[in-house]
Amino acid sequence: MIRRTTNGIVFYQFASLTPYREVLHAVFTRIGGTSRGPYQSLNVGHLIGDDAAAVDANHRRIFQALGINAETVVTARQVHGAQVAIVSTAHWGTIIPATDSLISAERGTVLLLRFADCVPLMLYDPLRHVLALVHVGWRGLFAGVVPHTIATLQQAFGCHPYDILAGIGPAIGPCCYEVGPEVVVKVEQTFGRDSGLLQSQPSGAIHFDLPGAVRRQLQNLGVQHIEDSALCTSCHTDEFFSHRAEHGRTGRFAAILGLRE
């Protein structure tokens, strides 16, 4: 990924998407906002205890950094599920309920989701000019949010997986993501016992490669062009919010994806 700074706001962009001038995208960090305490500083989560005025100001800052009109933004109430929503200009300024994947093919529509260890997944088909922004935690992964999104792109827009460009953004990595028996069983059931996605530690703990599991699902679905940020949010709390590293008291960073008018 490419690290950029605009007016003190720090964000990352996928090298594979930047050649497509019609694509507006960014994964923001926690740097450059107005929030204080555990939410310092560019928190965009309204429902976690931060001051609402600060969160609103942070939204204005990220929109300004990308030249976005706030009225064109569509977001979702993320629930760690597999619900996919196709949105358009009719949804501008709304929050889609109980949804973790947003798809749009309409120019001017901007998608926004929030993260703090889960995987920000961006998908773009440059032939059909349709894109998707997906929130992938372990629950959403096993619920099928990735295959459901790819299936919707295929069924609704005629996309072919081999045409899709995928970007896996900053998320908790296998270096830090200790999981319990429930997740271990699901990994083995979904990917097999020898998937390499579970790593035993000297302490006896088991770590899970969540970004690697997203990559594996994409590859199994036929997606060939995948860029992985390889940035662990838990290792880099200087730049990203991490629910695990900060023991649940932290903010949310934004991921934005849209088609320019």
How far is Cα 213 from Cα 45, in angstroms, rounded to an integer? Answer: 26
Q: How many residues does the chain have?
A: 261
Residue 138 burial by Cβ neighbours in a 10 Å radius (0-12, 13-18, 19+): buried
Average pLDDT, integer, range 134-143: 98
Residue 209: phi and psi, rounded to 5, are: -95, 85
Residue 96 burial by Cβ neighbours in a 10 Å radius (0-12, 13-18, 19+): buried
How many other C-beta atoms are found inside a 10 Å radius of the C-beta of residue 45?
20
DSSP H helices, the chain, are 52-66, 138-143, 145-157, 181-191, 210-220
What are the residues whose beta carbons fall under 8 Å from the beta carbon of 81, sequence distance 6 or more? 98, 99, 100, 139, 140, 143, 145
Q: What is the DSSP letter of 232?
A: B
Nearest to 78 by CA among 117, 20, 136, 30: 136
Map 155-194 to HEC letters. Answer: HHHCCCHHHCEEEECCECCCCCCEECHHHHHHHHHHHCCC
The model's confidence at residue 200, banded by pLDDT at 50, 70 and 90, is: very high
pLDDT in tens, 71-124: 999 999 999 999 999 999 999 999 999 999 999 999 999 999 999 999 999 999
Please give the structure tokens belonging to residue 15. 């090298």
pLDDT in tens, 215-250: 999 999 999 999 999 999 999 999 999 999 999 999
How far is Cα 114 from Cα 117, in angstroms, rounded to an integer? Answer: 10
For residue 203, cis peptide bond before it (omega within 30 degrees of 0)? no
- Cut 0.85: pTM above it: yes
Average pLDDT, integer, range 160-178: 98
3-state SS, residue 228: strand
How far is Cα 173 from Cα 232, in angstroms, rounded to an integer? Answer: 5
Nearest to 113 by CA among 77, 151, 68: 77
As a CATH number, domain 2-172+223-259 is 3.60.140.10
How many other C-beta atoms are found inside a 10 Å radius of the C-beta of residue 60?
13
How far is Cα 238 from Cα 41, in angstroms, rounded to an integer? Answer: 10
pLDDT in tens, 9-62: 999 999 999 999 999 999 999 999 999 999 999 999 999 999 999 999 999 999
Contact 258, 111 (CB under 8 A): yes
Task: Map out the domains of the chain as residue ranges.
Answer: 2-172+223-259
